[in-house]
Amino acid sequence: MGRHGLIFIMIISLDSVLGQVSYSIPEEMVKGSVVGNIARDLGLDVKRLKSGKARIFTSDSVQYIELSRERGVLFVKDRIDRESLCRQTTPCALHLQIILENPMELFRITVEITDVNDNSPSFKNDQRRFEISESAVTGSKFVLERAVDADIGVNGLKNYTLKPTGNFVLSIQSHSDGIKKVEMVLHKPLDREKEEHISLLLTAVDGGEPQMSGTVKIDVTVLDVNDNAPVFTQSLYKAAIAENSPIGTTLITVSASDADKGTNGEVSYSVSTAIDSETDSFTINENGDVIVVGEVDFEKAKYYRIDIEAQDSGGLSDSSKIIVDVIDVNDNKPVISILSKSDLIREDSPQNTVIAMFSVLDPDSSNNGQVNCRISGKLPFTISTSSNDFYSLVTDSELDRERSSEYNISMTCSDEGVPSLSSSVTLTLQISDVNDNAPVFERSSYEAYIIENNTPGLSIFTVKARDADWNQNARVSYILEDSSVNGVPVSSYVSVSADSGVIHAVRSFDYEQIKDFHFRVKAQDGGSPPLSSNVTVKVLIQDQNDNPPQVLYPVQTGGSLVAEMVPRSADVGYLVTKVVAVDVDSGQNAWLSYKLQKATDRALFEVGLQNGEIRTIRGVTDKDAVKQRLTVIVEDNGQPSRSATVIVNVAVADSFPEVLSEFTDYTQDKEYNDNL
C-alpha cells in the first residue's frame, strides 16, 4: 500500500487532556516521510505546538516518529520494520503521546504499521537430503521443512510448489492454528536403476504483490533395494570344446548383469546342481568363465548341457544353459577282439577257409572311428568284412605246409584320423600235414658199379628218396620191384633194405657172364593212402682181370709137333706165323701184348708186340739150324697182368722130309724147357 493510501482514523476525544489520533503507514517508509498532519488532525495551531513545546513521548527504546513543530506534521525518523517491531502480532502499531505544556495537554497517537511484502518465504536450510529406498511404497510421506515468511497476511506464506512432479507430489495440511504441514508424498515408485538421484525444488510463495518466494533444494538419493535379479545375456549359450581339453581350459565366458547396486548387484555364478554327473566336468568362476575341471570325453558324451545360475547377494537369480558340443579327437585306438580262431588248419583247406573272426571297435566318430584292417606282408590270407565292425580272416589261396608250416599273421587295424591310430594282433597258425607229396629220389636214375667176384651180401649202393611231408607221411620205405634179369627174378641178384635204401648184392657176379642189369626201386611213404615213386637203378658189373689170355694158335697139343716152315731163301721180314690169343676179360684186361720170351736164336726172329706176328729179322743162312724153337709170352694189360706162353716150333728147311728128321722129340727138349 502506498503512502498516499493512509487510513485516517480520527477520534476526537472530548476529554481535554486526551485527544486521540490514529494513523496508518506502511513499514519501511523512507526517513522524513510524513506520517500525518498532526496539527490539523488534533486541531492545534502550529503556534500552540511551539508554545506548548510539543514533544513526543514513547515508551519504545527507539523513536521512529518525530514531530515537526514548525510544520505540524509527524514524520518518519528511523526505519520502521514491522517484522522486527511486531513479528506476527497484528495489528502492529506504535503508540505515541504528544505532550504539550502551558497548558499541559496529552494526546495519544497511534501509528499503525501496515505490512509491506518485504520478506520472502525462507527456509532454514537451503538444502535437504533424503535417502529413500526404492522399495518405498507409494503414499509414503516425507515431511518437509516449512518455510517462514516474516510478513503477515497476504504477504505471508501462501503456498508451496514442488518440482518436478515425477515421483513426488506435495501434500499440504492446514491445521486450525494455521501452521501447515508440508509433506512430500511418493506418488510413483522409485527405481534406482532408472534414476538414482532426484533433485527437487520446493518453492514457498507468499501472497504478496509482487509475489516473493523461497526455495529449498531437495536431494533424494534413491537407495538400492535388491529388486533386480541378475539376467543372463543369453538364455542359451553354445560352445564347442575338443575332447581331452586340459583342466583349466576356458570354454566360454557367460555374463549376467544385475541392475542393482553394490552387493545387490554383485553376481555370483554357479553350475546348477544337476543329477546329471556330466556337469562335474565344468565349473564357473566369479567372472563367468566356464572352466574345464574334469574329463571331457567325446565317447562318453557328445554334448553337454550345463545349467548355470547367476545369483546376487540378495538371493535373486537367473538361470541359463550352455550347450557344449564336444569335438571328437582321435584319442582311441581301434580295439581288436578275436571272437574265434583256429590254431591249426589242414594244408588242403579250400580257399576262403575262415581262420579267425574278430571285431574291431573304435569309439571315435567319423574318420577318427573309421577303421581299415590289413595283413602285414604277403601272406596267403585276406581280411573280409561281413558287416560293420565284424571281420573274418580267410585263406585266399592254397596252402602248402611244405612251403610254410606256420604263419604269424599280423593284422593291423588303423583308423583314418590324423594322425592315425592303430592296433595290431598277431595270430599264429599251424598248417597240418596232408600226404600230398610222394617221395622223390635224389636222382632220376642211378648207376651203380660193382666189381665182379664180389662177396655175396656186399652193399653196392644206397638209393635215397626224400618226402616233403611230415612225420609218417614222410617216412619212406624202399621196395624192390619185381622184374627178371635173363629169366631170373631180380631178387636173386640184389636186395633192398626197406629202411635205409641200401642195395645189397645177393650173389657174386661174373663180368664174363653179365655185364649189367637194371631194376626198379620203389620208394613209398607211410601216408594213408601212401604215395610212391620209382627209380631205375642200373648195376654195372666191373671187370676184374680174372682170366689169362688164351692162345688159340698155334694149337698146343700134347704130342704132335707142329712146326712152321721157313725156307732158307726167306728174306728179312718174312712172316713165319702169327700167335693168336684171346682174353675173355675186357678192356685193359683183354688188351694183349706179345713178347718173345725165349728163342733158339734171338737174332733171327721177332714177335709183333701188338699183333703177335713172328717175322724174320735177318736173312736165313745155311748155318742156321733147322730146328728153331720160340717161346712167346702173351700178357694182358690188367693189374696185375695175367699171361700165357706158347711154344712155336719153326723149321728152317726147304723140304718137309728134312724137317721130320730133326723134329723127333721136341717136347722132351729138357734143356730148352728149363730155360723157360
Ligand X SMILES: *[C@@H]1O[C@H](CO)[C@@H](O)[C@H](O)[C@H]1NC(C)=O
Nearer to ligand X, 402 or 662 (CB): 402
Q: How far is the CB of 374 from ligand X (least distance, A)?
A: 18
Secondary structure E strands in 126-211: 127-133, 141-143, 157-163, 168-174, 180-186, 197-206
Q: How far is the CB of 355 from ligand X (least distance, A)?
A: 15
Q: How far is the CB of 371 from ligand X (least distance, A)?
A: 25
d(CA 43, CA 10): 11
Residue in 234, 408, 492, 500 binding ligand X, rule: CB under 6 A: 408
Taking Cα atoms as reference points, which of 463, 597, 438 lies closest to residue 521? 463
Q: How far is the CB of 159 from ligand X (least distance, A)?
A: 3
Nearer to ligand X, 159 or 317 (CB): 159
Taking Cα atoms as reference points, which of 351, 352, 327, 136 lies closest to residue 241? 327
Task: Say if strands 168-174 and 141-143 run parallel, antiparallel, or are unpaired.
Answer: unpaired
CB 439 within 8 A of CB 501: no
Taking Cα atoms as reference points, which of 555, 547, 434, 540 lies closest to residue 494? 540
Nearer to ligand X, 170 or 322 (CB): 170
Q: How far is the CB of 75 from ligand X (least distance, A)?
A: 39
Phi, psi values for residue 662, rounded to 5°: -85, -40
Nearer to ligand X, 343 or 406 (CB): 406
Q: How far is the CB of 280 from ligand X (least distance, A)?
A: 45
Tell me the sheet residues that pair with 615. Answer: 575, 606
Q: 482-488: list long-range contacts, CB under 8 Å, 24+ apart.
A: 483/519, 483/520, 485/514, 485/517, 485/519, 486/514, 486/517
Residue in 161, 385, 459, 472 binding ligand X, rule: CB under 6 A: 161
Q: List CB contacts of 640: < 8 A, sequence separation 6 or more.
A: 545
Nearer to ligand X, 398 or 406 (CB): 406
Q: How far is the CB of 430 from ligand X (least distance, A)?
A: 10
Neighbours of 443 (CB within 10 A): 12
Residue 138 in contact with ligand X, rule: CB under 6 A: no
Q: How far is the CB of 344 from ligand X (least distance, A)?
A: 14
Exposure pattern of 381-417 as b/e (b: 16+ CB <10 Å)? Answer: bebeeeeeeebbbbbeeebbbbeeeebebebbbbbbb
Q: How far is the CB of 198 from ligand X (least distance, A)?
A: 19
Residue 159 in contact with ligand X, rule: CB under 6 A: yes
Residues 469-508 that bind ligand X (CB under 6 A): 481
Nearer to ligand X, 239 or 523 (CB): 523
Residues 7-26 that bind ligand X (CB under 6 A): none
Residues 209-248 that bind ligand X (CB under 6 A): none
Please report, for residues 122, 232, 447, the alpha-carbon distance to residue 254 in angstroms, rounded to integers and kept in the order given. 55, 8, 101
Q: How far is the CB of 207 from ligand X (least distance, A)?
A: 8
Nearer to ligand X, 180 or 642 (CB): 180
Please name the helix (run of DSSP H) or strand (run of DSSP E) that holds residue 39, with its range, or none.
Answer: helix 38-42
Neighbours of 648 (CB within 10 A): 25
Nearer to ligand X, 268 or 534 (CB): 534
Nearer to ligand X, 371 or 503 (CB): 503
DSSP reduced 3-state for 167? coil
Binding mask 528-567 for ligand X (x = CB under 6 A): ------x---------------------------------
Q: How far is the CB of 537 from ligand X (least distance, A)?
A: 12
Nearer to ligand X, 479 or 590 (CB): 479
Q: How far is the CB of 426 from ligand X (least distance, A)?
A: 7
Nearer to ligand X, 45 or 482 (CB): 482
Residue 424 in contact with ligand X, rule: CB under 6 A: no
Q: How far is the CB of 216 from ligand X (least distance, A)?
A: 16
Tell me the sheet residues that pair with 644. Answer: 634
SS3 content of the chain, % helix, strand, coil (to 5): 10, 45, 45
Taking Cα atoms as reference points, which of 267, 263, 259, 266 lies closest to residue 192? 259
Nearer to ligand X, 108 or 518 (CB): 518
Nearer to ligand X, 217 or 520 (CB): 520
Backbone CA torsion sign across 132, 138, 142, 148? positive
DSSP conformational letter for 166? S
Residue 406 in contact with ligand X, rule: CB under 6 A: yes
Nearer to ligand X, 304 or 446 (CB): 446
Nearer to ligand X, 376 or 384 (CB): 376
Residue 430 in contact with ligand X, rule: CB under 6 A: no
Q: Give the number of C-alpha atoms closer than 13 A to the C-alpha of residue 490, restricted to the C-beta side.
A: 21
Q: How far is the CB of 464 from ligand X (least distance, A)?
A: 16
Nearer to ligand X, 206 or 312 (CB): 206
How many binding residues for ligand X (CB under 6 A)? Answer: 8
Nearer to ligand X, 44 or 182 (CB): 182
Q: How far is the CB of 380 from ligand X (least distance, A)?
A: 13
Binding mask 308-347 for ligand X (x = CB under 6 A): ----------------------------------------
Please report, for residues 26, 38, 427, 507, 636, the alpha-carbon distance to residue 11 in angstroms, rounded to integers and kept in the order given. 21, 12, 148, 207, 219
Tell me the sheet residues that pair with 216. Answer: 202
CB 632 within 8 A of CB 614: yes
Residue 118 in contact with ligand X, rule: CB under 6 A: no
d(CA 280, CA 296): 10
Q: How far is the CB of 481 from ligand X (least distance, A)?
A: 5
Helix/strand/coil (H/E/C) assignment for every residue in 382-446: EEEEEECCEEEEEECCCCCCCCCCEEEEEEEEEECCCCCCEEEEEEEEEEECCCCCCCEECCCEE
Q: How far is the CB of 406 from ligand X (least distance, A)?
A: 4
Phi, psi values for residue 583, rounded to 5°: -135, 125
Residue 428 in contact with ligand X, rule: CB under 6 A: yes
Neighbours of 327 (CB within 10 A): 14
Chain residues binding ligand X by CB under 6 A are 159, 161, 406, 408, 428, 481, 522, 534
